[in-house]
A and B are shown apart, each in its own frame.
Chain A
Amino acid sequence: MEIPYTYKARPDTGLYNAKVGIWLFLASEIMLFGALFSAYILLRVSAPVGFWPDVALAWPRGLLNIPIGTFNTAVLITSSVTVVLAWAALKMNNFARFRVYMVITVLCAFAFLGIKSFEYNDKFSHYVIRLQDGKALTGHIEVDGKHPRFWNFSDQWSVAKLAEQKVAKIKVEMDPERDVHGHVKAHGSHDHEVREVAVSDIVFMGSYTPATHPFFAVYFLITALHGLHVLGGALVLGYFAFPGAKMWKSNPEQFINRIEVGGLFWHFVDLVWIFLFPVVYLL
């Protein structure tokens, strides 16, 4: 006996198997991201006073680049529109148009990932430096005339490592001044002012990585997990656009179903971002 309803809908439920499967899968994904969002809320609400938001820096306000985030949001919304249009094109029997829309979708996905890795890179090479007097500086640092690179882990600096290597002074290329919403102040110091800091004045120093503050831990965990979903979705949709499209000849009905299932997943991934963006960038 063959397995029934692999692509034809079962009359009483009105669904084919894969559609039931993907919705169940998405339900579990909702629980996964839901747990991460709840963890974020709980951590933030129950954080010790002066910790989150940070007294010296008003973190997490102003940490993330809102214009870039907004642009990425637009990219993802576009990709969701094109993936539906690709599916609709197939329904209207227009394979060429399907492929165009699908290619746009996949390009959007990679554009998103490219922009995201630019943001990541910026974070990894940024440092926060807390001084004895309670003030804090942020910016790129220069140790012995060299700029640490994020991809080289032995190049990550901390107070302990500075002491160990007997470094007395470091240079900090300061971030421009920002207002409470994270925007560069119109009348603040724009030029990347460079300041010298004595290591003995530093209480804490760390790059913008998970170990430095729970906000970064949350930010990197959620966005990385989301990024993996984007990557996975892009690979699958790309497969459907080219090698997998052979099925359009052999079994068009099932092929349309596959695109629908892929599109559902893609919409979910984008919807996660729609929640993620305001929660980690704006609030």
Chain B
Amino acid sequence: MQSTASHAHTSATDSSHGHAHHEPGFFSKYIFSTDHKVIGIQYGVSALLFLLFGFFLMLAMRFQLANPGKPVPLVGPLLEKVLGEDMAKAGVMGGDLYNSFGAMHGTIMVFLAIVPVLFGAFGNYVTPLQIGAPDMAFPRLNMASFHAYFLGGVVMIASFFTPGGAARSGWTSYSPLASVTDLVNRFDGQTYWLMGMVLLITSSLLGSVNFIATIIQLRCRGMSWMRMPFFVWAQFVTGFLLLLAFPPLEAAGLMQLMDNLFGSSFFLPQGLVVSGSPLQVSGGGSPLLWQHLFWFLGHPEVYVLILPAIGIVTEVISNNIRKPLWGYKSMVYSVMSIGFLSFIVWAHHMYLTGMGTKVATFFQTTTMMISIPSVIILTALFISLWGGSIRFNSASLFALSFLPMFGIGGLTGLPLGFNASDIFLHDSYYVIGHFHYVVAPGTMFAVFAGIYYWFPKITGRHMNELLGKLHWAGSLFFMNCVFAPMFIQGFKGMSRRMSDGGTTYFGLGVDPGVLKLNNMIFWSAIGLGICQIPFIINFFSSIFMGKRAASDNPWQATTLEWSTPTPPPHGNFLQEPVAYRGPYEYSVPGAKSDFSPQGDKN
């Protein structure tokens, strides 16, 4: 119903201008485009910019942790000028500033960088192509989704400049802390955060409805469920996670907004005392309620961060091993079970809230259950490598190193999932290490793999292999130098939230050795940043000067996106595509080449 209207519109303008090929103007082509590929690129570019911004926030924090109380080099004076003396006196990062950088680093990375790049960018660009669809089912909703996302990002960034600074209660915004950060100015950073979140939730709602509807309705002829590339399956499940897990956070966000603006007490218990004076509220609310609602989103959300990444890795690996994927079906069933189970594990983030041992046992059990399908997927990918003639290019190197990195992330999750060991590890640097192993060398590597892999389809040119391999080797090395020490710090009991890097915790002058690691982490983070320079150069120069892709299918891949012209035109396919076979038919005995594309009849 969306599309007919918009098509009617274009044809009307065409005829009124009197020539057949009316070129759309800049705005309708790049800003108000309804083409899923343009929207995908819009998402990709904005998300990568947010990613860079989030990275810089982290660098500043890391400097502070390694050198507590020293002025931040280079940007210190700027911080003081822009954010005011309260925040960064003489360029030294104050506690409040550290907290708001921490909260915003998490928020930006999760909601404005990783999800948009996986779901918004790769999902938008690749999914319709892989199922042989001309576009998304609701192109105008797709555009609205991007606009809501962008606006949400603007609100989040704007919050840095409000009096009192951006939100500073962690990316989890636990109440009552989040409701009492600024009792005078109720329109504080936290309120901005909540409004930004409402926009982002709207965006992901529109996006997920669109993705699921597209995958159900627009699969081309012959594209049965079990012939869908695994990437599409991952997007499909992710869509459901976003669709069903985000609304409770929206509900919670509205409640916290009411607490902030209208003085209600959804999350404020009775008898709350803030800096020595009792809070003038009715009380009677429940702080635990916020945590339940937040983690009901929060845990599915972490699978939103990883499933599409596994999807990308599967595509890249299957193409570069030149043999069929091992256990495609078990992977599909696993991803479905993960989707289902991820809705019933959320309280493993809350073992220490005193919610009761019976509840904790239940969530401990489900948490162990969800590791099973995760391990099945990882195992299937590892076994697939066996006996393959692996091509080592930048894309496949990133995809291959994803496997062990994600493995470390997942395995370190198990001790967190048992409540006995989590009592010790909770809220320590160990947790930070755990999930960063999943998201940074995990998901981010998949994103890089995806960029190197699909770049020729999007631009018609390859990225430079030498720079790509430099980027890979440096990133792999420094990622591990950044995150592995955090496990050690966590075991020593270092809290994840201290702006002085743990000095207070261990006592002044006492250094059990782990504080020195802060220095190592800082310099490794700088190294990691430097290793992204080849990528940035490579990315921009290859758009214009990269080696031209030899054909529409330079990687000799099988899935449908490679049977389109390069780059795919509006409407994607020249003739109606048909899927004749499964997605990963490589080295089929008797076939004339080592790959049999889905769209080729014989």
Contact = CB atoms under 8 A, between A and B. Distances in A.
B270 interface: yes
A29 B282 contact: no
Given A7-B4, A15-B217, A21 B138 contact: yes
Interface stretch (A43-51, A96-104, A142-150, A186-194): A43-51
Contact of B264 (A18, A36, A210): A210
Interface in A45-61: 46-48, 51-52
B573 A1 contact: yes
Contact of A221 (B255, B281, B576): B255
Interface stretch (B69-77, B207-215, B439-447): B207-215
B286 interface: yes
Specify the main secondary structure of chain B where it touches its partner.
helix
Contacts of A79: none
A3 B270 contact: no
A13 B216 contact: yes
A71 interface: no
Interface residues of A, number: 50
Given A1-B573, A210-B258, A39 B4 contact: no
B284 A3 contact: no
B263 A24 contact: no
Interface string A233-258: 00000000000000000010010011
Contact of B284 (A5, A27, A47): A47
A10 to B, nearest CB: 5
Interface in B226-260: 243-248, 250-252, 254-255, 258
B21 interface: no
B292 A24 contact: no
A265 to B, nearest CB: 13
A213 B284 contact: yes
Specify the main secondary structure of chain A where it touches its partner.
helix
A211 B138 contact: no
A190 B146 CA distance: 58
A25 interface: yes
B548 to A, nearest CB: 27
A31 to B, nearest CB: 4
A4 interface: yes
A6 B285 contact: no
Contacts of A10: 217
Contacts of A13: 216-217
Given A17-B217, A24-B209, A221-B255, A214 B266 contact: yes
A125 interface: no
Contact of B576 (A1, A7, A216): A1
Contacts of B210: 21
B213 A21 contact: yes
A165 B133 CA distance: 69
A35 interface: yes
A237 B571 CA distance: 32
Interface of B: 1-4, 7, 133-135, 137-139, 141, 205, 208-210, 212-213, 216-218, 243-248, 250-252, 254-255, 258, 262-266, 270, 280-286, 288-289, 292-293, 296, 571-573, 576
21 contacts: A3-B137, A3-B139, A3-B218, A7-B1, A10-B217, A17-B213, A20-B217, A24-B213, A28-B209, A28-B246, A35-B293, A39-B251, A48-B284, A51-B270, A51-B284, A52-B284, A209-B262, A211-B263, A213-B282, A217-B258, A254-B1
